[in-house]
């Protein structure tokens, strides 16, 4: 089976950097890429660095190292890249999985809610992606970037204005970046999950009906249910990320792959 990305080989896919590695989807991505032979830099903010995840992965024979960095800080991102590439080698694959959610009606959101959401979900994607891609360009190596966005980037949702807008920004930034660096052999794609079994989803459930309403829909919120009748597991998203990083997706770029069980009825993210 082929592995890795256009700049790696079937046997040595190289180094992958995953932000938001302590989160539900991020941790699944770290594990999946480790199982595929990547050396994985599992990155999260200080105090949430996924040390336990990395230790368990190493106990299972996977090459995973935990690193702490704030993706909203240009200085920390550059220092992170210096350390990762010195210790694990050139980053050939990047997964932007860091994300935050400030739920609430648009008119009730504060300026701080808006700024904090965009700082991680959009500016963080910008800072990490450009830092990694500049190094790819400087060294003439190809590579692949996948941004984990959301199906809310293309479908309006109540109580999610800041989140949806930030994910839309991250989606279009990733596509524009991909357009600019395609000739240099760097592919940039998006995975757009829907409802996924993570703490972030659970934070939206305020009573015992949350799971049922997610599956069956909420007409009063103009939200359909999930046609496949199941909530995604983080590994479902991780598998989509791994595919887009792999050579099996070598002719795919500027694409958003929606992983939501049909919840947005095929409308692109």
What is the model's pLDDT at position 47? Answer: 84
Q: Where are the domains of the chain?
A: 15-257
Report the C-alpha gap between 218 and 47 in whole angstroms.
Answer: 36
Nearest C-alpha neighbor of 187 from the set 90, 67, 94: 94
In sequence order, the β-bridge partners of residue 146 are 95, 189
* Architecture category of domain 15-257 in CATH: 3-Layer(aba) Sandwich (3.40)
| Grouped pLDDT means (10 residues each) for the chain, 269 residues | 43 91 97 98 89 94 97 98 98 98 97 98 98 97 97 96 98 98 98 95 89 94 96 98 98 98 92
User: Which pairing describes strands 217-218 and 223-224: parallel, antiparallel, or unpaired?
Assistant: antiparallel
What is the model's pLDDT at position 12? Answer: 74
What are the strands, taking DSSP E only, across 140-264? Answer: 143-148, 186-193, 217-218, 223-224, 256-259
What is the model's pLDDT at position 3? Answer: 41
Report the C-alpha gap between 65 and 58 in whole angstroms.
Answer: 8
Q: pLDDT, tens digit, for every residue of 110-136?
A: 999 999 999 999 999 999 999 999 999
Q: Is 260 exposed, middle or buried (0-12, 13-18, 19+ CB in 10 A)?
A: buried
| Alpha carbon distance, N-terminus to C-terminus of the chain | 30
Report the C-alpha gap between 248 and 6 in whole angstroms.
Answer: 9
Report the C-alpha gap between 132 and 145 in whole angstroms.
Answer: 9
Report the C-alpha gap between 238 and 28 in whole angstroms.
Answer: 6
CA 191 and chain centroid, separation = 7
What is the model's pLDDT at position 223? Answer: 94
Residues comprising the chain, all counted: 269
Q: Could you give the residue numbers annotated as active site?
A: 163
What is the model's pLDDT at position 42? Answer: 98
Please state, in angstroms and as integers, the Cα–Cα distance from residue 229 to each residue in 79, 154, 200, 261, following that order: 44, 21, 20, 8
Report the C-alpha gap between 113 and 103 in whole angstroms.
Answer: 9
Report the C-alpha gap between 218 and 84 in whole angstroms.
Answer: 44
What is the model's pLDDT at position 9? Answer: 53
| Alpha-helical regions (H) of 111-204 | 111-118, 124-139, 161-181, 199-202
């Amino acid at each position: 089976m082929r592995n890795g990305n256009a700049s790696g080989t079937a046997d040595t896919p190289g180094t992958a950097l995953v932000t938001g590695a302590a989160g539900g989807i991020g941790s699944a991505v770290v594990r999946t890429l480790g199982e595929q032979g990547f050396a994985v830099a599992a990155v999260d903010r200080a105090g949430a660095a996924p040390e336990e995840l990395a230790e368990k992965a190493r106990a299972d024979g996977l090459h995973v190292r935990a690193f702490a960095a704030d993706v909203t800080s240009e200085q920390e991102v550059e220092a992170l890249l210096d350390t990762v590439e010195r210790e694990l080698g050139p980053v050939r694959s990047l997964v932007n999985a860091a994300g935050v959610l400030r739920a609430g009606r648009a008119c009730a959101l504060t300026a701080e809610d808006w700024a904090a959401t965009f700082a991680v979900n959009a500016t963080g994607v910008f800072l990490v992606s450009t830092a990694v891609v500049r190094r790819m360009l400087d060294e003439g190596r190809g590579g692949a970037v996948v941004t984990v966005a959301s199906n809310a980037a293309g479908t309006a949702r109540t109580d999610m204005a800041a989140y949806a807008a930030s994910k839309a920004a991250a989606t279009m930034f990733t596509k524009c970046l991909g357009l600019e660096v395609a000739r240099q052999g760097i592919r940039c794609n998006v995975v757009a999950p829907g409802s996924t079994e993570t703490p972030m989803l659970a934070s939206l459930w305020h009573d015992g009906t949350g799971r049922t309403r997610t599956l069956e829909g909420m007409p009063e919120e103009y939200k359909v249910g999930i046609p496949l009748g199941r909530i995604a597991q983080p590994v479902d998203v991780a598998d989509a990320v791994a595919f887009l990083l792999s050579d099996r997706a070598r002719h795919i770029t500027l694409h958003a792959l929606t992983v939501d069980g049909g919840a947005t009825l095929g409308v692109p993210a």
